[in-house]
Structure 1
Amino acid sequence: MLAHSRIVSRKLYNLNTIRCFSHLPLSVPIKLPNGLEYEQPTGLFINNKFVPSKQHKTFEVINPSTEEEICHVYEGREDDVETAVQAASNAFENGSWATIDPFIRGQCLHKLADLIEKDKEIVASIESLDNGKSIQNARGDVQLVINYLKSTAGIADKIDGQLINSGSNYFNYTKREPLGVCGQIIPWNFPLLMWAWKIAPALVTGNTVVMKTAEATPLSALYVSQFIPKAGIPPGVFNIVSGFGKIVGEAITTHPNIKKVAFTGSTKTGIHIYRSAATTLKKVTLELGGKSPNIVFGDANLKNAVQNIMTGIYFNSGEVCCAGSRVYVQDTVYDQLIEEIRAAAENVKVGDPFNENTFQGAQTSQMQLTKILEYVDIGKKEGATLVTGGERIGNKGYFVRPTIFSDVREDMRIVKEEIFGPVVTISKFSTIDEVVKMANDSEYGLAAGIHTSNINTAVKVADRLKAGTVWINTYNDFHPCVPFGGFNASGLGREMSMEALNGYLQVKGVRAKLYD
């Protein structure tokens, strides 16, 4: 989703920043800012155990709110990917997971959700520490993780084939079978939620997994992975190789024994993965970038619309692939609404993620902070009006004021290009045809919002928008039974719901001739 494993790290990482610790422990004690204490796994997770990388290299993990080091974790290389793929292949071939009663797979996923739920405050705190998002946003993510694992567990035994009638002389049927070893590459903006969105459909359908977490935010996925064996999932079924995209991501994408790659991240990286995976004809699903329109009609409940605009762009510090970063307001309420949006943005609490009143925490990296501020300068030079925000807060931590631009043209870069931060543009429209044309004038097609009290308007406009998800009188409102994914440059395939399972299954047709 909520994108992006942009294969960047907290600082301007390159491979020279990696250190070698021959005796780095496989877990380290960490005291969280809210006083909670826990043991953070630091190893790769292979065959249900945390292990050091073969070359014993590590990389640092930075707290984006303080710019201080949290810890180091082991950094995998190609040989570690090979070990993980072998473990996953063995687990798939021995039938300990792929051929068992699907109901048992569902029970394991449900148990995994229960284990996370019992520890959810620590899990949310790790996510907030590592990513920089507010604790209230992190708690929401963890609840979505629990809900999705339980929802997917409930459909484990409902993956059916069909009988095909071709006359009395034949018995025909189809089976939907797992693919085998699946590679998964997840992003830094929703580290734990994307962990769940990826592993749940892969595991419930009987596949095994080798995953690369984002190098900027590996901690929460490593922590919850300790629950995998406790949930009854056999060794080798799920594996994590922490590391960098150019090494671990590339090794996963091109490995001949990996049958499918799932990636959430930037469109540019997604295209590269799509091309690389083609060399071994892998199945591919991609959840990529977005520049989503959020449309407000004059008859909308304006109070609710303003709140949904705030959620649409400032939730998760704006680091959301489906963020409603282009707001279109009908001319009859434009002047009123732009003032209300400005006031609401200036009242957004930005700062310490562990402050219970904070809504917008830190940006996840120095690189992302720099990119956002560069786009603010671009918007000013293009002639847009800076209504509010557009500056860094303080000198420590990657904090940005919620930012609004008005008086924009549709050809401006701040309107066309994904900024991936708390920056929104506001445009005026008069008619349905006008706003539909503007909303669809994008290479992306991930999501859209419509705010109106007229159900006829809502349905007709939703039908005309080129977006994989359309929210009506709400925004960034996810449910495990509703599919999520994009049109056009926003990707291929879907997350969540029964639709997500199709990316991890292949269909076998069986035709038997019957004799008298």
Structure 2
Amino acid sequence: MTTQPGIYEVPEPVAVATDYPTLAMHIDGRWTDGSGDRREAVINPATGTPLGSVPLAEKADLDAALAAAARGYRIWRDTPVERRSRILRRAADLLRERAPQIGRVMTLEQGKALSEAVGEVQRVATLLDWDCEEGRRAYGRIIPTGPGETLTVRREPIGPVAAFTPWNFPAGSPMRKIAAALSAGCSIVIKASEEVPATACALVRCFEEAGVPAGVLNLVFGVPAEVSEHLVASPTIRFVAFTGSVPVGKKLAGLAAAVMKPTIMELGGHAPVIICDDVDPAAAAAACARGKYTNAGQVCTSPSRFFVHDSIHDEFVDAFVKASEAVVVGDGLAPGVQMGPLANERRRAAVRRLVDDARDRGAAVLTGGEDLPGPGFFYRPTVLADVPADAEILRDEPFGPVAPVIRFRALDDAIAQANALPYGLAAYGFTHRADTVARLTDAFEAGILSINHVGGSVPQAPSGGFKESGHGREGGSEGLDGYLVTKRVSHRLAI
């Protein structure tokens, strides 16, 4: 790589063979191009060049996947939980063994740094282990009654699942749905993103080779509206799981509600960060920068509005700028790269628009604020200060490497601004005072709250949002709840 005057490295194509895999759908235990001839190009975001093409499902392919899921559900539901557990643990082992190879494919098609991609695959293996154990412990209970009667509560798999996932976590998003569904005893038809299909294919191969029966796990790609409308409406599907934007989530939730199907909706956010006056501003800035530039800011829980106490504002901003300028940006396959490109040109254009709007309204661009030269969809890590309240970036989720900073003097004002938006996915606070921790914990309207760090999701705890950021939880002991139904059984002795 060559060095751009200043601080960033200019992205250049990495001189290695891409060996991008052939793409196919997986229906009823078979890999297939489908019944039609429609395909969509998969683009390397670091170079802007095609990697391959993915087949798009026709109605006949979706019907085949639904029929397979119906058959697969009956087989998987009746498979003893101990055997299901062995199969799923074997799939987790295969994921760990193949993490370097799968991670490399993920970087090619999504752009994130290779270390992030490999780590993502390793984490989904742990998630699968966790959900597998939760499935082994999906107990019911016996309720005391009078003589001659037994009253029990059973927990049973809900049935075939339709799932839809985005491109920002090519392994993490599909695995949250697959692991929960299969651990609960359900079958699944999952439509993964057409922009990052090879990672999803690699996950499915691990389950296939581990011994998951045909029809239990079906993978399709296609035109999103066509696929979702067909799958959600089908009487075969009993549950709908979605991760993605608020507008699309509302559309799918409406489709499901029309046929009375329960859903999990993990939707977008616009996570506030409140930096109080009792913390080290440089340390807080370093932690925030690490969280902000993970996956180039393309994370639903990414910190995206920074409210900083006036007394430490300038020190925090100076340290944030230095940390931003130290980020090594480039092709995610190159050694030492910390942040890759945005996943596609439409994402970069959206970030550019938000930054330009803030600048036009009077915000100061302290670093970044422009594309990097050369091929690919790169955008410089960007810090904005003195961002006016009417700037679009304070209302619309940037989903990119941009950090708007806003001063505050009274904590109540910062909390009010943090909660002012219709989103409630994640929130962050930095303080050393126990009473302030309690205040933030009580006041933040968010389903995921981190104090003095900017951490991600973990398998052992639930993740999910308030308000328009969705409903339902993934992970933790709550993660299988949506995939199970509760059945009350009252049994009296024969008269």
TM-score, structure 2 normalization: 0.94
Cα distance in structure 2, aligned partners of 1:37 and 1:329: 44
Residue 66 of structure 1 aligns with which residue?
Answer: 47
Q: Secondary structure at the match of 1:327?
A: strand
Cα distance in structure 1, aligned partners of 2:356 and 2:390: 16
Any conservation in 1 of the 2:285–2:317 contact (CA below 8 Å)? no
Counterpart residue type for residue 377 of structure 1: D
Residue 50 of structure 1 aligns with which residue?
Answer: 31
Unpaired runs of at least 5, structure 2: 1-12
Any conservation in 1 of the 2:282–2:320 contact (CA below 8 Å)? no
Residue 62 of structure 2 aligns with which residue?
Answer: 81
Cα distance in structure 1, aligned partners of 2:15 and 2:456: 28
Cα distance in structure 2, aligned partners of 1:102 and 1:456: 46
2:367 counterpart of 1:384: no
Any conservation in 1 of the 2:354–2:398 contact (CA below 8 Å)? yes
Cα distance in structure 2, aligned partners of 1:104 and 1:474: 40
Any conservation in 2 of the 1:366–1:398 contact (CA below 8 Å)? yes
Aligned match for 1:456, one of 417, 435, 460: 435
Aligned match for 2:233, one of 248, 254, 258: 254
2:21 counterpart of 1:40: yes
Q: Structure 1 473/55 Cα, relative in aligned 2: closer, same or farther at 3 Å?
A: same
Residue 217 of structure 2 aligns with which residue?
Answer: 238
Residue 72 of structure 2 aligns with which residue?
Answer: 91
Shift of 1:154: 2.1
Residue 5 of structure 1 aligns with which residue?
Answer: none
Residue 313 of structure 1 aligns with which residue?
Answer: 292
RMSD over aligned CA atoms reads 1.7
Residue 355 of structure 1 aligns with which residue?
Answer: 334
Residue 177 of structure 1 aligns with which residue?
Answer: 156
Residue 123 of structure 2 aligns with which residue?
Answer: 144
Any conservation in 1 of the 2:164–2:241 contact (CA below 8 Å)? yes
Counterpart residue type for residue 298 of structure 1: D
Any conservation in 2 of the 1:41–1:223 contact (CA below 8 Å)? no
Any conservation in 1 of the 2:20–2:105 contact (CA below 8 Å)? no
Alpha-carbon deviations, 1:5-26, whole Å to 9, x = none? xxxxxxxxxxxxxxxxxxxxxx
Shift of 1:33: 5.2
Unpaired runs of at least 5, structure 1: 1-31
Shift of 1:461: 0.9
Counterpart residue type for residue 409 of structure 1: P
Cα distance in structure 2, aligned partners of 1:476 and 1:249: 32
Shift of 1:311: 2.3
Q: How does 1:183-202 map to 2 (within 5 A)?
A: 183-202=162-181
Cα distance in structure 2, aligned partners of 1:452 and 1:277: 42
Q: Structure 1 455/107 Cα, relative in aligned 2: closer, same or farther at 3 Å?
A: farther
Residue 445 of structure 2 aligns with which residue?
Answer: 466
Residue 6 of structure 2 aligns with which residue?
Answer: none
Residue 253 of structure 2 aligns with which residue?
Answer: 274
2:297 counterpart of 1:329: no
Counterpart residue type for residue 493 of structure 2: L
Q: Secondary structure at the match of 1:449?
A: strand
Cα distance in structure 2, aligned partners of 1:34 and 1:181: 44
Counterpart residue type for residue 445 of structure 1: G
Q: Secondary structure at the match of 1:40?
A: coil
Q: Percent of counterpart pairs with the same letter?
A: 32
Cα distance in structure 1, aligned partners of 2:345 and 2:366: 24
Alignment length (residue pairs): 483
Q: Structure 1 34/197 Cα, relative in aligned 2: closer, same or farther at 3 Å?
A: farther
Cα distance in structure 1, aligned partners of 2:351 and 2:493: 67
Residue 423 of structure 2 aligns with which residue?
Answer: 444
Counterpart residue type for residue 125 of structure 1: R
Q: Secondary structure at the match of 2:468?
A: helix
Alpha-carbon deviations, 1:33-78, whole Å to 9, x = none? 5857767241110122211211132221110110111011221122
Residue 4 of structure 2 aligns with which residue?
Answer: none
Answer with 143-152 or 464-473: which moved more. Answer: 143-152
Counterpart residue type for residue 280 of structure 1: V
Aligned match for 2:400, one of 406, 421, 438: 421
